[in-house]
């Protein structure tokens, strides 16, 4: 078993310089700003159609979420000819369960306000990584439900912003928020002042300094 301990000896592998430049260096923060604001704008736009206007999902006369119900019913329908919109039976069962239990009344609010919130957070650059994760999750679910539309492009952008979370919000609120709050593995000034800092497992790693 010696080879096992040698293979998995907590050796930290370093990213190449180009990857670190793109995903960890504030020099390219303006590029992330463009991606982030575009993504945020698209989310607010998508959310605006659901909370605003004639075809909105919420705050309508009568029960909320009928638009979402219609969307779920279209997605879960199995046509006589051709392939159904949803490829995975477990996902179709999931949407059918939510439809049968009238979850669309409150879930329409979650989606509509969630889209606007994700958009606002991405535009102001607050909790950028978490906002991108939430956006990617919504894109992923829309794609599972058979909707292509702009979802593939927005999903890729969200994953990239998620990978560049450290610098994606640099020209934004995260420029001040992240140093103040920090992360679970590296608390910031405010958290450190309230909770005494304890050494986490990631900091016990002893990196080997090989070629970058």
Partner 1 sequence: MTKLVALILGVSAWAGVAVLAVLITFNVGDKNQILMFLPILAAVILAWAVGEIVTERVFPQREEDM
Residue 158 C-beta: closest distance to partner 1, Å: 17
Residue 178 C-beta: closest distance to partner 1, Å: 12
Q: What's the chain's length in residues?
A: 212
For partner 1, the closer CB: 75 or 178: 178
For partner 1, the closer CB: 53 or 211: 53
Host H or E run for residue 186: strand 186-187
Spatial distance between the Cα atoms of 84 and 76, rounded to a whole number of angstroms: 8
Helices within 77-200 (DSSP H only)? 89-100, 104-124, 128-144, 151-163, 165-168, 174-181, 189-194
Question: Distances from the Cα of 26 to the Cαs of 20, 32, 91, in angstroms?
Answer: 10, 9, 40
Q: Which positions lie near partner 1, rule CB under 8 A?
A: 33-34, 37-38, 40-41, 44-45, 48, 52, 116, 119-120, 123-126, 171-173, 175-176, 179, 189
Residue 70 C-beta: closest distance to partner 1, Å: 22
For partner 1, the closer CB: 116 or 158: 116
For partner 1, the closer CB: 86 or 174: 174
For partner 1, the closer CB: 48 or 147: 48
| Tokens 């736009």, located at residue | 45
DSSP letters spanning 172-183? STHHHHHHHHEE
Residue 121 C-beta: closest distance to partner 1, Å: 9
Phi, psi of 39 (to 5 degrees): -60, -45
Residue 44 C-beta: closest distance to partner 1, Å: 4
């Amino acid at each position: 078993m010696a080879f096992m301990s040698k293979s998995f000896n907590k050796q930290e592998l370093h990213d190449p310089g180009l990857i670190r430049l793109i995903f960890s260096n504030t020099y390219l923060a303006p590029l992330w700003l463009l991606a982030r604001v575009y993504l945020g704008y698209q989310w607010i736009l998508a959310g605006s159609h659901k909370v605003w206007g004639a075809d909105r999902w919420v705050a309508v006369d009568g029960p909320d979420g009928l638009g979402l119900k219609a969307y779920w019913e279209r997605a879960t329908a199995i046509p006589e000819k051709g392939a159904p919109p949803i490829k995975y039976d477990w996902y179709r069962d999931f949407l059918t369960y939510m439809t049968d239990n009238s979850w669309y009344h409150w879930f329409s609010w979650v989606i509509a306000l969630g889209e606007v919130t994700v958009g606002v957070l991405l535009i102001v650059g607050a909790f950028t990584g978490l906002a991108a994760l939430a956006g990617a999750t919504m894109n992923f679910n829309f794609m599972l439900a058979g909707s292509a539309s702009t979802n593939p492009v927005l999903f890729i952008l969200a994953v990239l912003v998620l990978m560049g979370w450290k610098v994606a919000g640099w020209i934004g609120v995260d420029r001040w928020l992240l140093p103040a709050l920090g992360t679970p593995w590296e608390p910031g000034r405010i958290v450190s002042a309230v909770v005494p800092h304890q050494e986490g497992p990631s900091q016990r790693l002893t990196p080997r300094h090989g070629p970058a």
